[in-house]
Amino acid sequence: MVPVNESHVTQPALAEATPPRSEAGSRSSGGTAGRITAIVIGALVVLLSLALLGAGGTALWADRTQRDGGYVTSDVHEFSTSGSALATVSTELGSAGVGWLYAPGLLDRVRIRVTTASAGPPLFVGIGRSTDVDRYLAGVNHTVITEFWGDKTEAVGGGAPRSTPGTQDFWVASASGAGTQTLNWDPTDGSWTVVVMNAEGRPGIAVGADLGARMPALVWIALGVLTAGAVLLVGGGLLIAGAFRGRRASRASTT
């Protein structure tokens, strides 16, 4: 009698007993991945829409409530230096990228108001091309305002200025005298720096300053951003809702 090898008998039987992967299961897996992708994309779109709605709402609020004499105006920020000048970092108007936000066509007119923190010598406030200002302040002890909104500054060592600011001819707009000084300027493209000094060039300055701009297009920009945010919010919500509807439909078809 020939012995029977059980492995030759059971292995084909096991192979035949293993069912092939169903097409329904494959479709279910693909549908689940698609729904997860839709939910993730929808959530990102909703987050972007909320950012746009916040920005548009802030711009509309500023246009409606923060105008002073027709200018959208910042809060007063205080700066001081033991040196001879306060100077802003170079501001690019009309540059590529986000520079369009500061384009002269949008700003229309700029106002800078500076008030001494206490009684002192007459002030000088001027704005000039950054290259000219850098040349004038080279070797001068002064403080650079690196971030106006955050009141951040950086000290630059040096000595006294070689001449008083009022004797320079590169200022495109300036104001000087006792008390609050208001500088009005019609902006143009380029790199610009604002400088605050004692009119006599003496060291030691402590001032409060605010910025204002006439922005006639601000309300339309705000409405445009709000509209874009609302459209994205609806689109993101529809993506998420569609994914959950597809999930319920898939569950119903399998029961």
What's the confidence (pLDDT) of residue 13? Answer: 45
**Could you give the CA distance from residue 52 to residue 230 in angstroms, rounded to a whole number?**
8
| Sheet strands (E) in the chain | 67-68, 71-73, 77-81, 85-88, 91-93, 109-116, 123-129, 142-147, 152-156, 171-177, 181-185, 190-198, 205-214
Crossing angle between the packed helical segments 23-65 and 218-254, to the nearest 10 degrees: 160
In the structure encoding, which two tokens stand for residue 89, read together?
Answer: 């970092």
- One digit per residue, the tens of pLDDT, for the chain of length 255 reads 445 454 444 444 444 445 455 554 555 555 677 777 777 787 787 788 778 777 766 665 665 565 555 677 788 999 999 999 999 999 887 655 444 445 555 667 788 999 987 777 899 999 999 999 999 999 999 999 999 889 999 999 999 999 999 999 999 999 999 989 999 998 888 899 999 999 999 999 999 999 887 766 555 566 677 677 778 777 777 777 777 776 665 665 555
Per-residue DSSP letters for 48-60?
A: HHHHHHHHHHHHH
What's the confidence (pLDDT) of residue 37? Answer: 78
pTM for this entry: 0.60
What's the confidence (pLDDT) of residue 28? Answer: 54
**Could you give the CA distance from residue 93 to residue 88 in angstroms, rounded to a whole number?**
14
Strand pairing partners for 112? 183, 211
User: For residues 244 and 36, is the Cβ–Cβ distance under 8 A?
Assistant: no
